[in-house]
Amino acid sequence: MGSPLVLAAGEVGGDFFRERDVGDLCQAQSGHLFCWDWAKENLDRYGTPTVQHLEIVLISVLVGFVVAFALALIAHRTRWLQPPLLTATGLLYTIPSIAFFFLLIPLTGFGRDTAIIVLAAYTLQIIYRNTILGLNNVPSSVKDAARGMGFTDRQILWKVELPLAIPEIIAGLRVAVVSTIAIATLVVFINAGGLGTQIYGEGNLTFPTTVIIAMAIVMGMALLFDLVLLTVQRLTTPWRRVRQA
């Protein structure tokens, strides 16, 4: 892949899979739902996977957003493109992620590039659909008023239509980011690292403590980004708050 954003292929393995001596920390290992002592001593092992996870998610969503946004702007101008593009992005979304990863292996190999291509492809539909929806929801009276004030088509798009479409666009981004954070756990299957290594790595699968910690980090990350984007939406659309008040 030729993306300049991807500078280095993901490095995985190594010291993620340190020796796990649970016996000392939790006496009866079997049937243990969560071993606090182990968690306290091993929390540091989640640092690198968390950073990797974040990187993969952010790059994927950024790539997906740029592509989907460009597609939406093209389809906004060339209206007949809207339904076929929706179908095409929908088909990409239908292919299960694990299958999608491995279908690309012969072309792009194991590692982070493949993970980013798939995750970015997944975000296309929701971002594209919501951007188009937002642009279509702009009342024609507003556009007429702008035109009457002497705005060019380009000015209308960037100064009137897009700002008014921000709530829908950000709603799409929120869904894209939250689901990408969850799906990125599966990139462990193509050796691209991330928090999935703490679920699927050697011996992890049968050790609920690590699965729960990784799951909590993933869901916490999703919640955090959801709140951040919600705040961004509030700050960029002050007129909405006025209307509600």
Partner 1 sequence: MNALPLASFSGAIEFIFTPQTSNVTGGNKVGGFDKSLELVLKHLEVTAIALAIALVVALPLGLYLGHRGKGELFAVGLGNAGRAIPELAVIALVAALIGVGLKTVAPALALLGIAPILVNTYVGVRQVDRGTVEAARGMGMSELEIMRKVELPLSVPTVMGGVRAAAIVILATATIAPLAGVETLGDFIINRNVYGENGLLAGAILVALLALTIEGLLALLQNRLTSDGLKLKTV
One residue of 48, 54, 208, 240 binding partner 1 per CB under 8 A: 208
Question: Mapping DSSP to helix (H, G, I), strand (E, B) and coil, where does residue 6 land?
Answer: coil
Total residues interacting with partner 1, rule: CB under 8 A: 50
Residue 99 touching partner 1 (CB under 8 A): yes
Q: What's the farthest any 2 CA atoms get from each other in the chain?
A: 77
The reply on whether position 151 binds partner 1 by CB under 8 A is no
Under the criterion CB under 8 A, does residue 115 sit at the interface with partner 1? Answer: no
Q: What is the DSSP letter of 10?
A: P
Given the complex with partner 1, which of 142 and 205 has the nearer CB atom? 205
Q: Which of 237, 62, 79, 81 is nearest to 162 (CA)?
A: 237
Token representation of residue 14? 């190594």
Reference 72, options 120, 135, 125, 128; nearest CA is 128
Binding of partner 1 by 227 (CB under 8 A): no
* The binder of partner 1 chosen from 82, 125, 204, 233 (CB under 8 A): 204
H helical segments located in 140-207: 140-148, 153-155, 162-183, 197-200
Rg of the chain in Å (alpha carbons): 22
Closer CB to partner 1, 145 or 205, in the complex: 205
Q: Near partner 1 by CB under 8 A, which window of 69-77, 141-149, 201-209, 234-242?
A: 201-209
Of 34-53, binders to partner 1 (CB under 8 A) are none
Taking the alpha carbons of 191, 195, 199, 204 in that order, is the dihedral positive or negative? positive
The answer to the question of residue 106 lying near partner 1 (CB under 8 A) is: yes
Question: Where does this chain bind partner 1 (CB under 8 A)?
Answer: 9, 33, 91, 93-103, 105-111, 175, 178-179, 181-183, 185-186, 188-189, 191, 195-196, 199-200, 204-208, 211-212, 214-215, 218-219, 222-223, 226
